[in-house]
Amino acid sequence: MSENKARSFEESLEALETRVRKLEAGDLPLEEALGLFEEGIELTRECHEKLDAADQKIVELTRSNEGDVDEVLR
Q: Is 69 helix (H, G, I), strand (E, B) or coil?
A: strand
2-73 CATH pick, 3.90.350, 2.60.120, 1.10.287, 1.10.10: 1.10.287
d(CA 30, CA 8): 30
pLDDT digits (tens, 9 = 90+) for 8-61: 999 999 999 999 999 999 999 999 999 999 999 999 999 999 999 999 999 888
Q: How far apart are the C-alpha atoms of 63 and 68, rounded to whole Å?
A: 5
What digits encode the pLDDT tens for the residues 55-68?
999 988 888 766 66
Task: Provide the residue ranges of all domains of the chain, joining segments of one domain with +.
Answer: 2-73
Give alpha helix (H) positions in the chain.
2-5, 9-25, 30-62
The model's pTM is: 0.75
